[in-house]
Amino acid sequence: MRNLLCRPLTGLIVLTLGLATTGWAQDDDAVYGEYLLPPETRLMFSISSVPDLVEQVSGTETGKMFSDPGLQPIIGEIKSKLEEVSKELSEKAGITLEDLYDLAQGEITFAIVEKPTRKLNAVFMFEYGDSQATVDKLLEKLDTALKANADHSTKTIADVEVQIFEFPKTDQNPYNKLAYFTSEGYFVAASDVAALEAVLTRWDGDSTQTLGEAEVFSYIFEKCSTEDEEPAIKWYVDLIGLIKSGVSTVQGEMPQAGMVLGFLPILGLDGLKGMGGGINVGVGDFETVNKAFIYVEQPPAGLLGAFQFPTTSQTPPAWVSADASMYAGMNWNVMEAYLSIESLVDSFQGPGALARLVDMVATSDDGPMIHPKKDVIDNLTGEIHISTLAPEAAEDDEEAAPPTPLATFAVGLKSASVMKDTLAKAADSDGFPGRTREFEGQTLYEIPMDGEQNMTVGVVGDYLYITSKVELLEEIIRGKFTDSLVDSEDWKDLTAHFPAKTSMIGFQQQDQSAKTAYEMAKNQAAGEIEGFDLSKLPEFEVLQKYFKPTGSYTVPDEKGVLFVGFSLSDE
């Protein structure tokens, strides 16, 4: 009997299905996704239950938005078009769109596996449950089309008959097969019989040699569970394994591709053992939770060593406005990053190569005589803050470029006076493109950018600031902040779910980013989609209430790093 190993949950992407599925109940003894795949799986995307996803998503703010009266006129047009398609499909194939929607009665999984050895093959698993009649009609037409262009044969594997279609082989394409089988309400297809055999040998759920039992995979999803619930939507990538398998696949035609493998340990990338994550909906206090984990061999080396972010107590500075569309804070180990890059460069160019290069830049007659390491890198604490405000409203001009968000970037300094001297040197050099001016006792450097935009640089307190608009830095210099993000109720509600110490923290007003995308799409698509009157789309303000603020944080782990993003439920 097959064992229940992955509890079906929900995910937002299923809203694209547009219609509810049937109430077919899954077998409580079924085994899903990762437990049907071999350990040599290099990539996987899986939804354990489409019906459950649709049902639970309908209770989220996103689900409620699609029921909003303001969207019904355009949704009515979409339904009308779908009815036309369904009628045509019924006349030609004997099935309707509703039949196709009803096919999604459980799991959907796509994977890339290294079966046979040194060859990547795709696997697709689709649970159709009791829709056998619809599947039979579709497979009859599929078989007819394939037999017209390929040799057909069958093979019995684990008491299941596998249909095999072999196309003419070409030197450019090593993939010339398609194989599939149906069993227990599943349709499973692959680009090689060996890949299907790997699934069928695990079909009874008794095998311990599966992706789900693999050390890296199981650890990743132990970390990505929420309230002891596994993600409803899962993704996994063995990036280095994918590269190695891909190189092996093409090396016969491209021998030089093997050079890539030699660089992986030199760059330290062979320490990247895997990455994965998933989405939960309606779990605990959360409306949505999105987690990802990168499994890295410790201590990280090479390029990976440049991305080390120790934990610390973090909070937005007072100058970050409650109206900020996005805020990110991080604590970067700048010195470890520099040493990692130095070690990497020196491994290619010889001991001391990077140091000599940096000294050469510092003493060049054509430069500002600034030492990149001593004057800049050694002066950084690693504290970083980034904030954006919604762009100012642009004039009504359909051909105008999208307005640019107002951005502020701040980095912590060990010595403000050293950085002021460094900026003064840069401004006194012949190649300095900007201008210098004073504001309330502070020196500002305005550097022209594209169009009419200026970048402004200055040192205020113990931070170096870079802003996309001079008024943003002037406000920081004045220091009069009455509406800060850190004091807002949204921030307090979200950060109640943050750990005390983090490597990175983040905040996003989804309504502001969604508004920009919505209005751009509405304007650009107007009149371009035949049969749809896009003027019936409501103004964004009608939908704005459905977009909630989100919080995120990052924490290191003894085997890698965990990223968490979420929004809260009203309850």
In-domain check, residue 495: yes
Mean pLDDT of all residues in 295-319? 94
In-domain check, residue 89: no
β-strand 272-283 against 286-296: which pairing, if any? antiparallel
pLDDT of residue 549 exceeding 50:
yes
Mean pLDDT of all residues in 50-60? 86
In-domain check, residue 68: no
pLDDT digits (tens, 9 = 90+) for 161-213: 999 999 988 766 778 899 999 999 999 999 999 999 999 999 988 899 999 99
Across 44-58, 344-358, 468-482, 524-538, least confident range:
524-538
pLDDT of residue 402 exceeding 60:
no
CB 123 within 8 A of CB 190: yes
In-domain check, residue 177: yes
pLDDT of residue 278 exceeding 90:
yes
Across 55-59, 68-72, 390-394, 557-561, least confident range:
390-394
pLDDT of residue 5 exceeding 50:
no
pLDDT, residue 527, reads: 54
Mean pLDDT of all residues in 8-30? 36
Do residues 225 and 317 both lie within one domain? no
CA geometry: angle 40, 295, 7, nearest 5 deg = 70
pLDDT digits (tens, 9 = 90+) for 241-260: 999 888 877 776 677 777 87
Q: Cα(436)–Cα(444) distance, rounded to whole angstroms?
A: 6
3-state secondary structure of 566: strand
- Pick the last residue of a domain from 227, 261, 295: 261
pLDDT, residue 529, reads: 64
Range of the domain at 132: 12-60+101-261
Do residues 257 and 313 both lie within one domain? no
- For the question of whether the overall pTM of this predicted structure is more than 0.75, the answer is yes
Do residues 317 and 228 both lie within one domain? no
Please, what's the b/e burial string for 4-20 (b: 16 or more CB within 10 A of its CB; e: otherwise)? ebbebbbbbebbebeee
Which is more confidently placed, 41 or 569? 41
Nearest to 9 by CA among 258, 289, 196: 289
Do residues 240 and 386 both lie within one domain? no
Mean pLDDT of all residues in 488-513? 95
Mean pLDDT of all residues in 357-382? 91
Do residues 323 and 239 both lie within one domain? no
Do residues 231 and 332 both lie within one domain? no
Do residues 242 and 328 both lie within one domain? no
H-run or E-run covering 386: strand 380-389
Nearest to 3 by CA among 153, 149, 171, 205: 205
Do residues 340 and 206 both lie within one domain? no
pLDDT of residue 505 exceeding 80:
yes
pLDDT of residue 110 exceeding 70:
yes
| Separation in Å, CA 110 to CA 121, 372, 424, 557 | 11, 47, 57, 29
For residue 434, give both structure tokens: 């900007």
Q: How many domains does the chain have?
A: 2
pLDDT, residue 24, reads: 34
